[in-house]
Amino acid sequence: MDLSIVVPLYNEEESLPELEAWIRRVMEAHGFDYEVLMVDDGSRDGSWEVVERLAQQNPRVKGIKFRRNYGKSAALNRGFEAVSGRVVITMDADLQDSPEEVPELYRMITEEGYDMVSGWKKRRHDPVLTKNLPSKFYNWTARRMTGIYLHDFNCGLKAYKNAVVKSIEVYGDMHRYIPVLAKWAGFKKIGEKVVQHQERKYGTTKFGIERFIRGPLDLLSVIFISKFGKRPMHLFGMLGLLIFVLGFVAAGYIGVSKLYRLNQGLPTILVTDNPYFFISLTCMIIGTMLFLTGFLAELVSRSAADRNEYLIEKRLGLEEAGRTVV
């Protein structure tokens, strides 16, 4: 199969028929062998009934329905598990992503060799203060912290090699950072394409102000997991040791300074009257706690079921090993 299109949706019953017809028109015009997987994230309107009707009319439409709302990441993760196309496309169900972009995204994956191509809504039809400016700042921060130079991390229109979606796990609100997850999994050829952004035709946005809080927290989380997920001691242990040594040296300096002044008959004060003594003592306590945190995290990491699972791209002269992920 050439293409699998994953469409996560939540309360989008008005837009689904138009979206399916638009996708079908583009796919047939280019002769693609395709499937459309609509993942209903616990909609409370008639979205699932629409999906069922569309599946009866077009056998290429498939569906998954959650019992309740879990979020976009969960919908994408379940969709990635189910699809089988050579190239996987994700797009939102609100008609703001244009299916007309799909053929070029497919070409960039199959002919130019990209592992993943992310859409860039260069010209947006969103409110400036509540969406455009926060989005620009968020994307700038993500570029600086991840080293992946994309203009629009959160664009729902993306294309992937099948191997990419089978190698990553999307959870929480990590759909914003799929390029980071892909890079961490060893897929480093990540491209970008300017795509057309449509104005919302039906309904309202499903993302509220809480995204401004979740976004930075998820960014810190994915960076920590990607760099120190299997070696937490390298972060907590190193940081704890550094802070402990600074506190110990400062405490030693205070003690030696007092002994020197006493030996020289110079006026001095009690060590416990020196505020720097308590600062150095606090540093040693914090350093010890961080070191112990790293030690405990290392024990948890070593006990994890996937501690020795690694992503393997190819084999030569070897059978598949039981505990290895391909």
What is residue 170's three-state secondary structure? Answer: coil
% of the chain at pLDDT higher than 70: 82
Mean pLDDT score, 34-57: 94
Name the average pLDDT for the chain.
Answer: 84
| CA nearest neighbour of 39 among 156, 183, 148, 195 | 156
Query: Number of C-alpha atoms within 13 angstroms, CB side, residue 101?
Result: 26
Amino acid in the structure at residue 306: D
CA–CA distance, 144 with 149 (Å, rounded to integer): 8
pLDDT confidence band for 158 (50 / 70 / 90): very high
pLDDT confidence band for 22 (50 / 70 / 90): very high
For residue 326, pLDDT beyond 60: no
For residue 307, pLDDT beyond 60: no
CA angle 161/57/82 to nearest 5° reads 30
What is the pLDDT, as a whole number, of residue 229?
A: 67
CA–CA distance, 206 with 128 (Å, rounded to integer): 17
Query: Between 215 and 74, whose confidence is greater?
Result: 74
Pairing of strands 158-161, 87-90: antiparallel
For residue 156, pLDDT beyond 70: yes
For residue 216, pLDDT beyond 90: no
For residue 212, pLDDT beyond 90: no
For residue 128, pLDDT beyond 70: no
**Token output for 174:** 């990590």
CA–CA distance, 133 with 158 (Å, rounded to integer): 22
C-alpha 266: how far from its chain's center? 61
CB of 13 within 8 A of CB of 50? yes
What is the pLDDT, as a whole number, of residue 306?
A: 59
For residue 168, pLDDT beyond 60: yes
Pairing of strands 61-65, 87-90: unpaired
CA–CA distance, 118 with 108 (Å, rounded to integer): 11
pLDDT confidence band for 324 (50 / 70 / 90): very low
What is the pLDDT, as a whole number, of residue 305?
A: 62
Predicted TM-score (pTM) of this structure: 0.73
For residue 318, pLDDT beyond 80: no
CB of 180 within 8 A of CB of 226? yes
DSSP string, 193-236: EE--BPPP-SS--S--TTHHHHHHHHHHHHHHHHHHTT-THHHH
For residue 160, pLDDT beyond 70: yes
